[in-house]
Chains A and B, each alone.
Chain A
Amino acid sequence: MSTDVALRPSPTGGGRSHALSRYLATHARARLAALLSLPLAWVLVLYIGSLALMIVAAFWSVDSFTGNVVHSFTWANFQTLVTQPVYRDVALRSLGIAIAVTVIDGLLALPIAIYAAKITPSPRVRYAIVILTTMPLWAGYLVKAYAWRIMLDTNGVLDWVLSPLGLHGPGLGLTATVLALSYLWLPYMIMPVYAALDRMPNSLVDASADLGAGPLRTMRSVVLPIILPGIVAGSIFTFSLSLGDYIMVKIVGGTTQMFANIVYDNIGVAGNLPFAAAAATFPILVVIGYLTAVRRTGALENL
């Protein structure tokens, strides 16, 4: 979508700014360069540059005597990460949590999004559901983490609700972490799924019904394939955000550790930046692998 239109020179000529304006008006490439250079430089230098440096730092080490970072190449950090079973266990647990959160959010988001986008005839109800499900996104991460601590802690709200039934809640731990993370990232799943459903013409569903398909068949063969990019887009957030989390697990996870805790503890307590950097390559590889795998579904355009 180029706006490379031939422009008449401005009638009020003169002045350096006008000369610049005229030049830019007739040179689309110069305009593009002016718009793109600063933001692109920011992203490339600050963000990509930092990522690159972090990956380089993953091959450094820390002098065990002085505690200073030694800037020479070594595979030692990665060797430790791969060979020590504790890291493999934590990595697998984090992957499991991220997958569980993604599946739970998908199952919760689908009926809500379908109801809002396709079932309710009232635009008001639709708008209300969209607003009500997306607003909590901004309620504050720690506020929500705190809320789940109150909900799940021993003698917390869930225990209180379940006690007349003779049951009690899961308490703080792995289940609590999965539950709280699902809660946290649910709006990120609802939004793209709703948007995908909203774009899908209703006539497709009607056509499917006319051709004799029941609701389940229509769902499986018509609706799901069309909204798949939306679901995948949502899963990018639920998966990636869960994988990199270390705060929620500290607040509601009891003694449970996730992979990001290893990164955090090495930066903070141990002061071992190279090892933390090496550990951080794991979520990067997983997420970039996931992004490239889902690229062809068109999910990235649905973010």
Chain B
Amino acid sequence: MYLGRLPRALFAFAVLVGLAFIYVPLGVVIVNSFNASKVFSWPPTQFTTHWWSAALTNDGVRAALLTSVRAGLGATLIAVVLGTALSFALVRYEFFGRTSVNFLVVLPISLPGIVTGIALNTSFTTLLQPLGISLGLFTVVLGHATFCIVVVFNNVSARLRRTGTSLDEASADLGASLWQTFRYVTLPQLRSSIVAGALLAFALSFDEIVVTTFTAGPGVQTLPQWIFNNLFRPNQGPIVNAVAALLLLVFVAPVWLAERLSGADRTASAGRM
């Protein structure tokens, strides 16, 4: 787009302001995790790594981390299987009601989390509890999988749209069975998008708090729940801050990897994640 020098500079300035808006608060969390003061005070006057070691050895944090990883793995596994199948069905086939199915599928991420949470809570407590199945980690996995499916679906669909069907047809023409075509032709083209979808699904599950709150049974505490429950306790402030800073750094790796794996799809089509 042709623009004069001044408008270009103004746009560049807006980008810098936007990036500062995004990164300054995150930087503050990292800096403040080394703040030696027991109660929050800014600016920090002394620095320590004590809160980091306290956070890493905290039993509550460790137990919550384990619960989060379990829930994330369970939800991701379900999401990969169902999300991939769904994207094949919706991208590669024309059928009556396809747009409606598409609409239904994106509902779990379009409706506020509290709606998903309370809907699942209603059906779990009304239908499962009389059967003797109470809320627990299992119900958290079901809840998380419901919206994780959408993430895998978005990633794999974008790849399917981009790759087209000519290689699959060539494989079939050369006599490969359906399974062989899938295993040796389709899957290798999709693999990185499935991995990216899985990583993002795991990240999304790992971060989820609203749906977790409504589907977790007593005694099940994920890491976000631990943070939320300890956020307002005065003595826990510095440890919560250190956990938050740790999460910031831990999140960078899988998401950066997912971005690398699916970058081409993303620029080829809009995709939320």
Contact = CB atoms under 8 A, between A and B. Distances in A.
Interface string A39-64: 11011101111110110010000000
Interface in A204-244: 205-206, 209, 215, 218, 230, 233, 236-237, 240-241, 243-244
A39 B89 contact: yes
Interface residues of A, number: 111
A126 B95 CA distance: 38
B241 to A, nearest CB: 7
A178 interface: no
B191 to A, nearest CB: 18
A238 B236 CA distance: 32
Nearest to B2: A209
A176 interface: no
A273 B125 contact: yes
A49 B19 CA distance: 42
Nearest to A279: B118
A34 to B, nearest CB: 8
A42 B165 contact: no
A32 B93 contact: yes
A142 B85 contact: no
Interface stretch (B56-64, B69-77, B251-259): B251-259
B50 interface: no
B131 interface: no
A144 interface: yes
A112 B126 contact: no
A150 B93 contact: no
A134 B266 CA distance: 12
B272 interface: yes
Interface string B114-142: 11101111110111000000000000001
27 contacts: A1-B165, A5-B169, A5-B172, A24-B178, A36-B85, A39-B149, A42-B82, A43-B146, A114-B11, A115-B15, A119-B8, A129-B19, A132-B23, A136-B26, A137-B255, A139-B251, A142-B244, A143-B245, A143-B247, A143-B248, A160-B43, A237-B272, A247-B209, A273-B121, A284-B111, A284-B115, A287-B112
Interface of B: 1-3, 7-8, 11-12, 14-15, 18-19, 21-26, 28-29, 32, 40-43, 78, 81-83, 85-86, 88-89, 91-95, 101-108, 110-116, 118-123, 125-127, 142, 145-146, 149, 154, 165, 168-169, 172-173, 175-180, 200, 203, 207, 209-210, 213-214, 224, 227-228, 231, 240-241, 244-245, 247-248, 251-252, 254-256, 259, 266-267, 269-273
Interface of A: 1-3, 5, 7-8, 10-12, 17-18, 21-22, 24-25, 28, 31-32, 35-36, 38-40, 42-44, 46-51, 53-54, 57, 69, 108, 111-112, 114-116, 118-119, 129, 131-144, 146-148, 150-151, 153, 155-157, 160, 183, 186, 188, 191-192, 195-196, 198-199, 202, 205-206, 209, 215, 218, 230, 233, 236-237, 240-241, 243-247, 251, 260, 263-264, 267, 273, 276-277, 280, 283-284, 287, 291, 300, 302-303
